[in-house]
Amino acid sequence: MIASPTTRRVLLLAHTGRAEARSVARSFIAGLTAHGLVVRLLAVEAKDLGVDHEEFGEALELNESEADLGRDCELALVIGGDGSILRAAEMTHGAGTPVLGVNLGHVGFLAEAEPEEVDSTIAAIVEGRYTVEDRLTLDVRVTLDGELITTTFAVNEASVEKSARERMIEVLVEIDGRPLSRWACDGVVCATPTGSTAYNFSAGGPVVWPQVEALCLVPISAHALFARPMVTGPDSLIAIEVIDRPDGAAVLWCDGRRTVDLPLGAHVEVRRGAEPVRLARLHEAPFTDRLVAKFGLPVEGWRGEGERRLRGAASSEGGEPS
């Protein structure tokens, strides 16, 4: 449970371009402030939501900048889909603010609550009835001829990809300082267990349970005999070097949000992130149940261990369970 400070603050971020998200966000603001919590908003989003100090007084904090947005907030409440949750993780990176998603997206794998659960979610926040999971992230470093170009991070994945549809890129991949293989391909995805159900999954990579600490490596449309998805240890160092791209171009994508153009010879290093992303959880449901629910997996006919035992006992007695 989360300890209650003197002033309890919740950062609220919403996909204000959607009418439903605006409505749900206003309901959360009204409910949380009515229970004595302070709600922090970006000023531009408050304008989109039509809320101001005249209505909520000091219970509403408006920030003009994204800098230190999560500071002193016990929770970042996100109204939107997985993209909005990744945006919130980016804004609060380094602050250690747990992120709680209310799903208004298509799948919402990172989200914990649904729009119709506003009242119960408000009650859980007010009463501190949620747990926090630390999820592995990625730190990414790009160099060229030994000189640093950029550093960034990712919650789901970092991918090196071609940026011209008609061309492939050629890369050399190494693990822990040793060469693994050279591929002519459309790209390479490096994913976390949290991101294993995102781009990694679409590219043919494995689904990894969140409690497993590992890194996924998936070549995309590689012209090679050895081009299978791989899973490395959590402390492995994955390096991808752009060694040839005739008339093409390569680009680094992180969580589908941040991009870096990669010149020929660029060296991309991906390792376990120094700072985890913290996800607030309202439910203790097994990850298997989340997979079934989010992907709509067919499980008709499953009876469960308890019912199998019951049926077995009834059969031995010559009857059927009532």
One-letter amino acid of 176:
D
Whole-number Å distance between alpha carbons of 265 and 319: 73
- Residue indicated by tokens 């030994």: 146
State the pairing for strand pair 75-80/99-103.
Answer: parallel
Mark out the alpha helices in 6-106 (DSSP H runs): 19-34, 43-49, 53-56, 82-91
The catalytic residue among 52, 82, 145, 244 is 82
Query: Is there a catalytic annotation at residue 72?
Result: no
Sign of CA dihedral 283, 287, 288, 290: positive
DSSP 3-state of 10: strand
Separation in Å, CA 4 to CA 42, 65, 92, 318: 23, 26, 20, 59
Whole-number Å distance between alpha carbons of 81 and 103: 5
Whole-number Å distance between alpha carbons of 239 and 194: 20
- Residue indicated by tokens 């469960």: 304
Residue 103: which region, alpha, beta or left (left: phi > 0; alpha: psi -120 to 50)?
beta
- Looking at the annotation, which residues are catalytic? 82
